[in-house]
């Protein structure tokens, strides 16, 4: 049975006990999926699954009262957000039903756009798209083109260590049990650049920011949202000026609040409408966390996130050595 049908069956089975199940459905064009909210068996027809199922649906979990019974379909990376939310007691385990599946990866739509642009095709004018095996075929403006999926996977998928959800109540399909390496080579490469170059890079990137806070609101773990310090006047810590300083200040706050919590789903970066590579900031933090605490967020529901715990003697932090 195709995985999608198995998924529908699994959801149908659990639906009676749930208020809603969040999955993906067809979006506004052939290159977009969009979150769908399933409350009846009839809604199951809306479900789709594939390389366009980019959104991390775990971000909706904290938008419901903790008492609601929510089902959520997760990719491997999304499942880590669920675990982290459980670790922080932001959701109730008994009120969340997790539907996992073996995730081959999702595309980076920016890469799709650029790769097809190089073939003289506009992804924004797509009429048909298909993902068969290792090829992506697109029809746009009467022209058809094909590209290897290898060129289109999101960066996070190329380094993915968790194709199969790390937590699930219903898992459909065969586990992939694949694991790529992730030694934070991108962060290391960036860090190797001279300070002036790094500064200039962020100056240019952040100057594009429109302060829409899509990065914050797409993040499954950025849970202050309505009360975010970025927009409050009491306290008034971040000015409403839209200079690079203020924008970068917000990103620093955002990244700091996610240190040791960020599960690297990359939604912040994907949600950014002007293509600012802000996941890099969070990966820098995670690299440090991994080195210091040998910890990756959102893997073990029972683990204590290192920055939410206290040890008198940290193994790798020399606190009293001077």
Partner 1 sequence: MTTMMNPYLPEIATVLEVIQETPNIKTFRVVLNNKDRMAKFKYEPGQVGQLSVFGVGEATFVINSPPTRMEYLQFSVMLTGEVTSMLHTLSPGDQVGVRAPLGNWFPYESMKGKNIVFVGGGIGMAPLRTLLLFMLDNRKDYKNISLLYGARSPEDMAFKYDLPDWSTRKDMTTVLTIDREAPGWEHKVGLIPNVLLEMNPSPKKTVAITCGPPIMIKFTLQALKKLGFEDDQIVTTLEKRMKCGVGICGRCNIGTKYVCVDGPVFTYAQLKELPNEL
Partner 2 sequence: MSAKYLAQGDLSAWLGALAQGRRVLVPVRENGAVVFRPYGPGTKPVLTRQADSPPKESVFPSTERLMEFSYSKDAENLGKVALDIKETVNAPATVVFGGRPCDARGFTVFDRVYDTKTIRDPYYAERRASTLFVTLACDTPETTCFCNSVGSSPVDADGSDVLLTPVDGGWLVEAVSERGKALLDAPALKDATAAAQDQAKAAKEAAEAAMPPAWDAAPAAAKLLEKFDDMGFWDDVSAKCISCGACTYLCPTCYCFTVTDERSGMKGERIRTWDTCMSFQFTLEASGHNPRPTKAHRLKNRVGHKFSYYPDIHKGPIACCGCGRCIKLCPVSVDIREIVRLAMELPTATAGKP
Which conformational region is residue 275 in: left (phi greater than 0), alpha (psi within -120 to 50 degrees), or beta? left
Could you say whether residue 94 binds partner 1 (CB under 8 A)? Answer: no
The C-alpha angle 163, 123, 121, rounded to 5 degrees, equals: 125
Q: Which is nearer to partner 1, 158 or 240 (CB)?
A: 240
Q: Which is nearer to partner 2, 93 or 257 (CB)?
A: 257
Query: Which residue stretch of 43-51, 144-152, 231-239, 260-268 sits at the interface with partner 1 (rule: CB under 8 A)?
Result: 231-239
Could you say whether residue 35 binds partner 2 (CB under 8 A)? Answer: yes
Here the tokens at position 44 are: 């199951």
- Cα end-to-end span (Å), the chain: 64
Find the binder of partner 2 among 66, 193, 225, 304 (CB under 8 A). Answer: 225
d(CA 130, CA 40): 28
Q: Which is nearer to partner 2, 55 or 168 (CB)?
A: 55
Q: How far is the CB of 8 from partner 2 (least distance, A)?
A: 20
The site string for partner 1 over 233-252 (x = CB under 8 A, - otherwise) reads: xx-x----------------
d(CA 82, CA 84): 5
Q: Which is nearer to partner 1, 5 or 237 (CB)?
A: 237
Q: Which is nearer to partner 1, 95 or 231 (CB)?
A: 231
Find the binder of partner 2 among 83, 86, 126, 278 (CB under 8 A). Answer: 126
Could you say whether residue 227 binds partner 1 (CB under 8 A)? Answer: no
Asked whether 307 and 283 are in contact (CB, 8 A), the reply is: no
Q: Is the peptide bond before 272 cis (omega within 30 degrees of 0)?
A: no
Asked whether 300 and 83 are in contact (CB, 8 A), the reply is: yes
277 binds, among partner 2, partner 1, none (CB under 5 to 8 A by kind): partner 2
H-type helices in the chain, by residue range? 3-14, 76-87, 109-118, 155-158, 185-191, 195-207, 214-218, 244-257, 267-271, 279-293
Query: Which residue stretch of 22-30, 118-126, 230-238, 293-301 sits at the interface with partner 1 (rule: CB under 8 A)?
Result: 230-238
d(CA 295, CA 286): 9
Q: Which residues bind partner 2 (CB under 8 A)?
A: 27-30, 32-37, 55, 59-60, 110, 113-114, 122, 124-126, 141, 204-205, 208, 210-214, 216-218, 225-227, 231-233, 239-243, 267, 270-271, 273-277
Q: Which residues bind partner 1 (CB under 8 A)?
A: 233-234, 236
């Amino acid at each position: 049975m195709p995985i999608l049908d198995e998924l529908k069956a699994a959801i149908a089975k659990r639906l009676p006990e749930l208020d809603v199940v969040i999955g993906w459905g067809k979006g506004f064009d052939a290159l977009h999926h969009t979150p769908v909210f399933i409350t009846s068996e009839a809604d199951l027809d809306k479900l789709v699954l594939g390389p366009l199922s980019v959104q991390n649906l775990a971000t909706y979990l904290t938008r419901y009262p903790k008492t609601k019974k929510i089902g959520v379909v997760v990719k491997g990376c999304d499942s880590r957000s669920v675990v982290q939310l459980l670790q922080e007691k932001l959701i109730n385990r008994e009120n969340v039903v997790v539907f996992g599946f073996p995730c081959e990866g999702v595309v980076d739509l920016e890469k799709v756009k650029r790769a097809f642009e190089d073939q003289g095709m506009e992804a924004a004018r797509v009429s048909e798209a298909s993902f068969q095996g290792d090829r992506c075929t697109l029809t746009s403006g009467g022209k058809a083109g094909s590209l290897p999926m290898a060129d289109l996977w999101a960066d996070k998928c190329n380094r993915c260590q968790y194709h199969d959800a790390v937590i699930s109540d219903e898992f459909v399909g065969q586990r992939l049990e694949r694991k790529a390496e992730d030694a934070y080579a991108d962060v290391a490469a960036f860090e190797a650049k001279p300070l002036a170059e790094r500064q200039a890079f962020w100056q240019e990137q952040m100057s594009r920011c429109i302060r829409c806070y899509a990065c914050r609101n797409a993040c499954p773990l950025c849970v202050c949202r309505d009360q975010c310090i970025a927009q409050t006047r009491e306290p008034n810590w971040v000015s409403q000026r839209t200079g690079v300083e203020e924008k970068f200040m917000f990103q620093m706050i955002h990244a700091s609040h996610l240190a040791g919590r960020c599960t690297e789903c990359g939604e912040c970066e994907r949600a950014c409408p002007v293509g600012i590579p802000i996941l890099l900031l969070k990966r820098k933090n995670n690299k440090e966390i991994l080195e210091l605490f040998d910890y990756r967020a959102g893997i073990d529901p029972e683990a204590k996130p290192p920055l939410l715990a206290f040890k008198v003697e940290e193994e790798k932090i020399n606190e009293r050595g001077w």
